[in-house]
Structure 1
């Protein structure tokens, strides 16, 4: 019994970030519109003082298909890169990416009145993870970087990827992906430079 409890504790400790995103997102979706509406990014409400929406807007979703699609993406990102960075570093990247998404929408996308979803933040996590692996010598990640930048280019020029809106169950705010990706790029470059500097100092 003790071994099982120790295993559960270690599992939770190693996966704090996914749990910290999944649990509140699930709670908001279970509550439905009674919680989704006061939690979502809402431009006018934020200007009226409801600043929590800058964070919680990333955790609210259009519906269960939208939520499950984003949670599947989160788990894939975690499987690929979860062990690459410390829990604290991931927490900082997640927070910064979240704020880049919502503050970016406020400053540069004034026509977007409201927004929900993890996808913008996930772009930040993905790109930061790719850079962390590149810093550790993984060459295949360059292809992943090219792929995500190609996706962002497509979305900015042609709109959402075919089928993405039907999967999500509503409109896709592609600028959220761009703003999250910018946060991930900044974090990723910082991670890469820090790793290289540390490596040079050790050698």
Structure 2
């Protein structure tokens, strides 16, 4: 029963993305990251922009990655810890875009948050002496560095009908590294 309960955290995030995507239906919504509206006081968009997607392919790519991460790390988080992690990563990505990417006016997608989820789970792996965590950390960091130097593929941008905001991946990765000690601590406390 405990294993099934932990999967609910991950399924809930996927369901939230599906619902917001269905509500949005190719229109600007109250969920999207929109720089001008955030500056005008609609601060929730800093977080909520992470949960909408440009099209069904974008959504399915992000939900597939979420499923893989759930398969690897579902057991590491209580519901409160998982929700806190998602909110912290969403805020880190949204604030990163707002402060460090001033030319980005619109943004949607979970990929920045996913990069943070990967890093936090991998660091917990390492703390548990699962050395595959090092592979995840090195691989994710190498991917993000490659994207910063060479951008993402034109094919991916065409598939999701938008430019891939590789900076969001960087902000998610950095936020993941910053907040991971808290989640390592919470995981050790939960396991004790």
Give TM-score, length-normalised by structure 2: 0.89
Measure the CA separation in 1 of the matches of 2:124 and 2:71: 14
Equivalent residue, structure 1, for 2:110: 118
Q: Is the 8 A contact 2:53 2:59 kept in 1?
A: yes
Equivalent residue, structure 2, for 1:159: 151
Q: Secondary structure at the match of 2:29?
A: helix
| Structure-2 change in CA distance of 1:121 and 1:87 (3 Å) | same
**1:100 aligns to 2:92 (yes or no):** yes
Greater alpha carbon shift after TM alignment, 76-85 vs 98-107: 76-85
Q: Is the 8 A contact 2:10 2:74 kept in 1?
A: no
Q: Is the 8 A contact 1:40 1:114 kept in 2?
A: yes
**1:72 aligns to 2:71 (yes or no):** no
Equivalent residue, structure 2, for 1:33: 26
Measure the CA separation in 2 of the matches of 1:127 and 1:98: 14
Could you report, residue by residue, the CA deviation over 1:148-181 in whole angstroms, capped at 9, with x for unpaired residues?
0100101111111463323323210011011111
Q: Secondary structure at the match of 1:185?
A: helix
Decide which of 74, 79, 82 is 1:90's aligned counterpart. 82
Equivalent residue, structure 1, for 2:161: 169
Q: Which runs of 5+ in 1 are unaligned?
A: 1-6
What is the CA-CA distance between 1:145 and the residue it aligns to?
0.9
Q: Secondary structure at the match of 2:51?
A: coil
The structure number with the bigger radius of gyration is 1
Q: Which runs of 5+ in 2 are unaligned?
A: none
Q: Is the 8 A contact 1:135 1:196 kept in 2?
A: no
Give TM-score, length-normalised by structure 1: 0.84
**1:134 aligns to 2:134 (yes or no):** no
Q: Is the 8 A contact 2:52 2:109 kept in 1?
A: yes
Q: Quote the RMSD (CA, aligned, Å).
A: 2.3
| Structure-2 change in CA distance of 1:99 and 1:195 (3 Å) | closer
Greater alpha carbon shift after TM alignment, 83-92 vs 47-56: 83-92
Equivalent residue, structure 1, for 2:39: 47
Q: Is the 8 A contact 1:84 1:133 kept in 2?
A: no
| Structure-2 change in CA distance of 1:162 and 1:37 (3 Å) | same
What is the CA-CA distance between 1:92 and the residue it aligns to?
1.5
Measure the CA separation in 2 of the matches of 1:73 and 1:79: 10
Q: Is the 8 A contact 1:130 1:188 kept in 2?
A: no
